[in-house]
């Protein structure tokens, strides 16, 4: 049974790269019928952010990424846990890390270091100046446990470091990159327990992955350089190490690691901008991997069916919004009007538009193929929800026409529409053919009549067509707007 995990630290929001990592873990578990564990890595008290765990869980749930084990939000929004390997929040596992740290100290794989930050700083600057590798000089390595005990009794502050072998190399096979090797002499004696008694990522991570029986560690490439330290830790404990798969990084347009500075990185930002979770999942899934040669739109089930670590790219992928916009449109196009209303409603409410569902349904139908995101709906359809349109008289006349013609055509159309039944407005297509026939019969041109009509109904230079809008407005409002437009031209 394969077991994988996503182990974010709750620092405030879910990063788009984090979402992809979570998704790949989920896809892997889904593909192999394995277990997908969520674990919260909150061993750094300094970075603790109130509510971050709830926010993380909420965002994951919104994106449709569902861990099978670990913390989750119940219906009341309270954090609960499921699974046999808990607790799944590292701050609740401190005793465990202490226990394993002691084992390391006892076995000699770990040693106490009493070096002060000032001394460490000095060593570092000295090495940098001499163009030497910058790393801990292993000053406290030779200190006996007894000496250490004595200094502890004096109240000296200390950390636990990992004793890295002096020679040899640590080599492993990465599922994505193949064989990777590091000279032990160049690996730093990693701090495992901080002076505040909290474990660092490295210790907690290895202990938890082992205890939770993780078989595959699928994580970002930024962890590749610390993997030998983790491997050495597994060895020190006498444990079997999991398989590692280091995912290519998500990049800014300038190919640096994706950062907040250069655009949106929080999944929540995308949500607020009106992107659909299906589109985002589809989008990030294809950043670094493609199941086939000529297809772009996939459901999660289809992604899971095709998922294979070996097919993941090695190089970083620029996270470019253009394709997301397109994907989002693709999903929007396929959506029913009903569903669209449901999804877009929050964005209307946010803009202070509180309209009956029937009208909202017409509104989203008008713009379904014109907007890229849900957030664009309210602005794009605002003309439907106002009682009084402001007209720019100059806009009412079509390009090669003039105000007098516009006025006369509008008057003609007003008379024509007044003679139509209410039902005539219930179908845009037939209203169109009726009107076009009338325009032709009168010897008018389409542009000199339909442009003013459309502007009269929307007040805009760019908008959906006049008949769709008339359909959405209904006969009464259509007539009212044309009347107002004519007055504007008078």
Structure tokens given for 210? 């082992």
d(CA 475, CA 101): 78
**Smaller CB separation from RNA, 225 or 349:** 225
Answer whether 88's CB lies under 8 Å from 37's CB. yes
- When the beta carbons of 82 and 255 are compared against RNA, the nearer one is 255
- Specify the residue, 74 or 118, whose C-beta has the smaller distance to RNA: 118
Is residue 429 annotated as part of the catalytic site, yes or no? no
Distance of closest approach, residue 328 Cβ to RNA, in angstroms: 10
Q: How far is the CB of 302 from RNA (least distance, A)?
A: 15
Q: Which is nearer to RNA, 83 or 459 (CB)?
A: 459
- Cβ proximity to RNA: between 247 and 479 the closer is 247
- Shortest distance, CB of residue 131 to RNA, whole angstroms? 4
Q: Which of 260, 311, 314, 400 is catalytic?
A: 260
* Vertex 160: Cα angle to 156 and 163 (nearest 5): 130
Minimum distance, C-beta of residue 263 to RNA, in the bound complex (Å): 13
Please report how close the Cβ of residue 354 comes to RNA at its closest, in angstroms: 26
Least spacing, CB of residue 44 vs RNA, in Å: 4
List CB contacts of 51: < 8 A, sequence separation 6 or more.
Answer: none
Cβ nearer to RNA, comparing 103 with 400: 400
Residue numbers annotated as active site: 260
């Amino acid at each position: 049974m394969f077991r994988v995990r996503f182990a974010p630290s709750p620092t405030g929001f879910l990063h788009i790269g984090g979402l992809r990592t979570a998704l790949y873990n989920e896809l892997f578990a889904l593909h192999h019928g394995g277990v997908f564990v969520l674990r919260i890595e909150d061993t750094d008290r300094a970075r603790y952010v109130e509510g971050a765990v709830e926010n993380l869980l909420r965002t994951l749930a919104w994106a449709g990424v569902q861990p099978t084990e670990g913390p989750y939000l119940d219906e009341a929004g309270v954090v609960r846990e499921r699974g046999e390997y808990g607790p799944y929040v590292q701050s609740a596992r401190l005793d465990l890390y202490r226990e394993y740290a002691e084992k390391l100290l006892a076995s000699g794989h770990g040693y106490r270091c009493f070096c002060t930050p000032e001394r460490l700083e000095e060593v570092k600057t000295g090495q940098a100046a001499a163009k030497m590798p910058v790393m801990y000089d292993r000053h406290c390595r030779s200190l006996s446990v007894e000496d250490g005990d004595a200094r502890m009794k004096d109240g000296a502050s200390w950390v636990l470091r990992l004793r890295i072998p002096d020679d040899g190399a640590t080599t492993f096979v990465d599922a994505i990159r193949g064989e990777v090797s590091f000279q032990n002499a160049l690996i730093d004696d990693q701090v495992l327990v901080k002076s505040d008694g909290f474990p660092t990522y490295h210790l907690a991570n290895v202990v938890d992955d082992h205890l939770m029986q993780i078989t595959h560690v699928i994580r970002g490439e930024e962890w590749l350089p610390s993997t030998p330290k983790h491997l050495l830790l597994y060895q020190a404990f006498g444990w079997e190490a999991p398989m590692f798969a280091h995912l290519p990084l998500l990049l800014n347009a300038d190919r640096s690691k994706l950062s907040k500075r250069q655009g949106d990185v929080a999944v929540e930002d995308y949500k607020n901008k009106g992107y659909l979770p299906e589109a985002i999942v589809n989008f990030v899934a294809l950043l670094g991997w493609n199941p086939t040669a000529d297809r772009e739109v996939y459901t999660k089930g289809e992604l899971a069916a095709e998922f294979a670590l070996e097919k993941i790219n090695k190089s970083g992928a620029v996270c470019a919004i253009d394709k997301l916009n397109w994907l989002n449109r693709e999903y929007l196009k396929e959506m029913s009007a009903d569903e669209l209303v449901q999804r877009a409603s929050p964005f209307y409410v946010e803009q202070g538009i509180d309209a009956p569902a029937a009208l909202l349904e017409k509104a989203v139908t008008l713009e379904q193929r014109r907007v890229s995101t849900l957030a664009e709906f309210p602005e794009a359809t605002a003309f439907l929800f106002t009682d009084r349109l402001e007209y720019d008289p100059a806009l009412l006349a079509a390009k090669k026409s003039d105000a007098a013609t516009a006025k006369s055509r509008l008057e003609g159309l007003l008379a024509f529409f007044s003679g139509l039944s209410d039902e005539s407005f219930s179908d845009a297509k037939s209203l169109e053919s009726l009107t076009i026939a009338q325009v032709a019969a009168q010897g008018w041109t389409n542009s000199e009549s339909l442009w003013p009509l459309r502007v009269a109904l929307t007040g805009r230079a760019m908008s959906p067509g006049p008949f769709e809008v008339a359909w959405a407005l209904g006969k009464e409002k259509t007539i009212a707007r044309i009347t107002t437009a004519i007055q504007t031209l008078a």
